[in-house]
Amino acid sequence: KNQVEQSPQSLIILEGKNCTLQCNYTVSPFSNLRWYKQDTGRGPVSLTIMTFSENTKSNGRYTATLDADTKQSSLHITASQLSDSASYICVVSVGGTYKYIFGTGTRLKVLA
Amino acid sequence: EAGVTQFPSHSVIEKGQTVTLRCDPISGHDNLYWYRRVMGKEIKFLLHFVKESKQDESGMPNNRFLAERTGGTYSTLKVQPAELEDSGVYFCASSPLGGQGLYEQYFGPGTRLTVT
């Protein structure tokens, strides 16, 4: 069964601190993995995309890693800001299709 | 360029009633997707249109749900009759044709459906 699991479920950090979110997946065939940010009341917005051959991708203060052998990914947020408060969702595309498999997300709260 | 829009933003209906959700994709995007997130669960795929044709409707929960995309532009998702378990947030997304899953799907803000 295609599945994406994320941890932790929620996280609270102080502004300026770093944090790392985890994603494990069992999706076959694998096409690519995206991290999405979802602000409250809005739709998800893509932060990064990685294909099978890529093991790291950065977007400003966001850095995603992918280990295709262990089927794990992480999203590292550097020097967090209040605006980083949101849900972060790991999404894996099923190869040969347009289908997305979503994780349940990590709810991040950044405190001043 | 306008993003994906959805209407209404929130709908509250009674069990047994009918509700129609609307999605306007980004202009020129032939792929249109419907997703749903029920309380505490992950977002799940419902169906995928390519232009006006249903490419994959394997995620539709039952025949109370009917999606249409006449003319290949906007899409509607009708729930008739609504049940309590249909409550959740319904997202629409769109993407350009081609590239399989490599093209980003752009999401709308969602419609929050509450069935009482």
Q: Cis omega before residue B8 (within 30°)? A: yes
Confidence (pLDDT) at A63: 97
Between A46, A93, A103, which is nearest B42 by CB? A103
d(CA B80, CA B65): 7
- Which of A 26-45 lie inside 8 A of B, CB atoms? 31-32, 34, 41-45
For residue A106, what are the β-bridge partners? Answer: A88
A52 falls in which pLDDT band (50, 70, 90)? confident
At residue B113, does pLDDT exceed 80?
yes
Tell me: the pLDDT tens digits for A11-43?
999 999 999 999 999 999 998 999 999 999 899
Residues of chain A with Cβ-Cβ distance to B33 below 8 Å are: 98, 100
Whether B109 and A42 lie within 8 Å, measured CB to CB: yes
Confidence (pLDDT) at B45: 94
Tell me: the pLDDT tens digits for B28-55?
999 999 999 998 899 999 999 999 999 9
The kind and range of the H/E element at A68 are none
Whether B42 and A104 lie within 8 Å, measured CB to CB: yes
Whether A102 and B44 lie within 8 Å, measured CB to CB: yes
Confidence (pLDDT) at B1: 62
Q: Which chain A residue lies closest to B96 (C-alpha atoms)? A: A98
Minimal C-alpha gap between A104 and chain B (Å): 4
Minimal C-alpha gap between A80 and chain B (Å): 24
| From A70-84, B3-17, B98-112, the region with the lowest mean pLDDT | B98-112
Whether A102 and B104 lie within 8 Å, measured CB to CB: no
| From B14-18, B61-65, B101-105, the region with the lowest mean pLDDT | B101-105
Between A43, A44, A98, which is nearest B101 by CB? A98
Tell me: the pLDDT tens digits for B87-104?
999 999 999 987 666 778
Beta-strand runs (E) in A1-112: 3-7, 10-14, 19-26, 30-38, 45-51, 56-59, 62-67, 72-77, 86-94, 100-102, 106-111
At residue A96, does pLDDT exceed 70?
yes
Interface test with B, best of A100, A101, A106 (most B CBs within 10 A): A100
B71 falls in which pLDDT band (50, 70, 90)? confident
Residues of chain A with Cβ-Cβ distance to B102 below 8 Å are: 31-32, 49, 51, 93
d(CA A90, CA A22): 9
At residue A97, does pLDDT exceed 90?
no
* Alpha-carbon dihedral angle through residues B93, A38, A24, B39, given to the nearest 10 degrees: -80
Three-state SS string over chain B comes to CCCCEEECCEEEECCCCCEEEEEECCCCCCEEEEEEECCCCCCEEEEEEECCEEEECCCCCCCCEEEECHHHCCEEEEECCCCHHHCEEEEEEEECCCCHHHCCCEECCCEEEEEC
